[in-house]
Amino acid sequence: MAQQAQPQQGERSMNARTGRDRQRYGPNGERLVAGVVPLNAERSHVLMIQSSSRKGWVLPKGGWETDEKTCQEAACREAWEEAGIECRIQKDLGTIEEKRSEATIRKHGLMAPKALYRFYEVTVTVERDTWPEQYKRERKWMSYRTARELLQDRPELSEALDRCSIIR
């Protein structure tokens, strides 16, 4: 859908950030998470990635870190690390509170506090052939209907998808 390209020297890091040493937190202790809803130029498909923990399909997202000036910067970094894409932000989709209960979060082995998500609708400008998490995640272009079905157990991600301008 977007052009395929090889990374050039001096471009983005091929190392994905890990851990929560630099994680930002909100005033109520919630983890601040930045994410993208990556659309093709025609807005007919969304690029989904395979979850590294549960093997379902999700949207690229991750912690907004203290060395990042803006949430947009964090969202674009996550898009690169997890999906291997370069993108242009089109629209701020706003904040979405964590919908899962703490019991559900613990059931999946996560020890993190609830999250406050901020998603951005982006247009994918380049899909790289190599990216930091390429061996951990698959990526796949999907229609709204398919993506919505696969996100039914992740209401915060479904809400982000519903807020974007993808053709339904």
Cα separation, 110 vs 82, whole angstroms: 19
Q: Is the pLDDT of residue 143 over 70?
A: yes
Average confidence (pLDDT) over 7-19: 57
Q: In this structure, is the dihedral angle defined by the CA atoms of residues 10, 14, 19 and 20, taken in order, positive or negative?
A: positive
Q: What is the CATH number of domain 25-163?
A: 3.90.79.10
Based on the number of CB atoms within 10 Å of its own CB, is 145 exposed (0-12), middle (13-18) or buried (19 or more)? exposed
> CB–CB of 84/130 below 8 Å?
yes
Domain positions in the chain are: 25-163
Q: How confident is the model at residue 79 (pLDDT cuts 50, 70, 90)?
A: very high
Backbone angles phi, psi at 72, to 5 degrees: -60, -40
Average confidence (pLDDT) over 6-15: 54
Interval 109-129: pLDDT, tens: 655 578 999 999 999 999 999
Q: Is the pLDDT of residue 16 over 60?
A: yes
Q: What is the pTM of this model?
A: 0.85
Q: How confident is the model at residue 10 (pLDDT cuts 50, 70, 90)?
A: very low
Interval 33-76: pLDDT, tens: 999 999 999 999 999 999 987 789 999 999 999 999 999 999 99
Q: Is the pLDDT of residue 147 over 70?
A: yes
**pLDDT value, residue 109:** 62
